[in-house]
Amino acid sequence: MVRALIRGVLTLAVLGGLALAFYAVGHDGRLPWQPPPTHGEDWCSTHQVPLSEDEVCNPKLARGGLLVARDRGPKEGECPNTLVRITAPAEVVERAGIQLFKVEPRPVTETLRTTAETAYLPTKFARVAPRTGGVVREVKAAVGDVVEPGTILALLDSREMAEAVTGYRQAVAVRRLREKTHAQEKDLAEKKISSGRELLVAVTELEEANLAVAAARQRLLTLGLADGRVTALETGEEPGSTVEVAAPFAGTVLEAVAVLGENASPERPLFVIAETSRMWLHIDLHEQDLPKIEKDQRVVFTLDGLPGQRFVGKVTAIGGSVDERTRTLRVIADLKNSQGLLREHMFGHADVTVRPAEPKMLVPRIAVQTDGDCHFVFVSSTANVFKSRKVDLGVPYQDAYEITGGLASGEQVVTVGSFALKTEVLRGEMGAG
């Protein structure tokens, strides 16, 4: 009796075990009293890892291919191609050359790049010509010479200067005679020897002589004769026909066309002088960029013809009208040219600092993909797993975008290979394998 009872219990136990085994096989290894799994379809219960990451259970990964799966369906207003996960074997990632970029706040200076052209400062640029016509007697300056204010550049023999000098000397001689006559008449009047009428005539004639000297002196100054030379004419020590062509300020001789023996005139400049340690920069500004520009903003000028050279200055003036043909506004910057490399009409690019450095989250442009109105990147928090995620873009830069939403500091995004991942998403290879 006991043996029969034991035999029945063992039989029931075996049958129960077989029933549980058959149940587990049909329910992903889950026993009747265990709750349903919460992992969804993308789960390998054998290895307890997502199926999209299991190279043993997933046939696509086992063959060295990519697996594209969606974490969940997009909600209303969400981009359809975000929330997608791509898993790839390590050798596929290496072969594709996928590279990652760590997103962190970085100090960024916002600049505006536009075309620009150099010019000499108007107040330090001069075409030097004689004040009167004459024949070039001596040339004292050549191209490249550095001169100081008043440096003599050339000497001319001028008939008009000779006539003006003669007129001045005559006026001075007449004034001396009138001064003697005035002194004599004043002495006689004080001694009651002559009447006051003769003294009045002498005073009038002396005033007329003084006016004549002043007029003759002014004519000489107008013709370019220095004040000290005018005074020397009274003693007869100064030659009477020499015209000096002098530098108006310190600078460098850029052009010199004076030739010995040739006629010179005020209409034909003999020299061009400029102060080259500073230059003007004419910046072409588009209308829409006008609100960004202010005086004293930093400017860096670069040229293709002078690679590696940077010329720094600041905005000094903003034009008052827009060019009707180009629709650009002229902005003027003052540049340092300490090495003297810049010359007039050199063309290049100006980078104007319109906002000082501040920390911003930037990602390379190559990392950002577009699908309709959506912008997204591929984030990698697990090796060889890449998830597409919508991001909000801020200010665009030359090689990067500002990220204002969708990424946190320290996350890694795909740069090289991002477009290839987007292609896989658009192919619609969905599912767990």
Q: List all residues 6 or more positions away from 433 whose beta carbon is below 8 Å from its beta carbon.
A: 51, 52, 57, 58, 59, 60, 61, 67
Final residue belonging to a domain, choices 229, 252, 275: 275
Interval 413-425 mean pLDDT: 87
In this structure, the answer to whether residues 176 and 197 fall within a common structural domain is yes
Which has the minimum average pLDDT: 205-219, 228-242, 279-293, 407-421? 228-242
In this structure, the answer to whether residues 192 and 146 fall within a common structural domain is no
Of 18-27, 52-61, 181-190, 375-384, the range with the highest mean pLDDT is: 375-384
Using pLDDT thresholds of 50, 70 and 90, give the confidence band for residue 24: low
260 belongs to a structural domain: yes
Domain containing residue 83: CATH number: 2.40.420.20
Q: What is the span of the domain harbouring residue 215?
A: 159-240
Q: List all residues 6 or more positions away from 6 whose beta carbon is below 8 Å from its beta carbon.
A: none
Using pLDDT thresholds of 50, 70 and 90, give the confidence band for residue 237: low
Interval 180-191 mean pLDDT: 81
143 belongs to a structural domain: yes
Residue 6 has pLDDT above 80, yes or no: no
262 belongs to a structural domain: yes
In this structure, the answer to whether residues 148 and 203 fall within a common structural domain is no
Q: What is the per-residue pLDDT for 356?
A: 81
In this structure, the answer to whether residues 172 and 137 fall within a common structural domain is no
In this structure, the answer to whether residues 138 and 195 fall within a common structural domain is no
284 belongs to a structural domain: no
Asked if residues 129 and 223 have their Cβ atoms less than 8 Å apart, the reply is no
Cβ burial of 422 (10 Å; 0-12, 13-18, 19+) is buried
In this structure, the answer to whether residues 410 and 371 fall within a common structural domain is yes
Interval 344-357 mean pLDDT: 90
8 belongs to a structural domain: no
d(CA 142, CA 139): 8
Between residues 145 and 71, the one the model is more confident about:
145
pLDDT, tens only, 78-104: 777 777 888 888 888 888 888 999 999
In this structure, the answer to whether residues 194 and 266 fall within a common structural domain is no
In this structure, the answer to whether residues 365 and 383 fall within a common structural domain is yes
Output the pTM of the full model.
0.57
Residue 432 has pLDDT above 50, yes or no: no
pLDDT, tens only, 117-132: 999 999 999 999 998 8
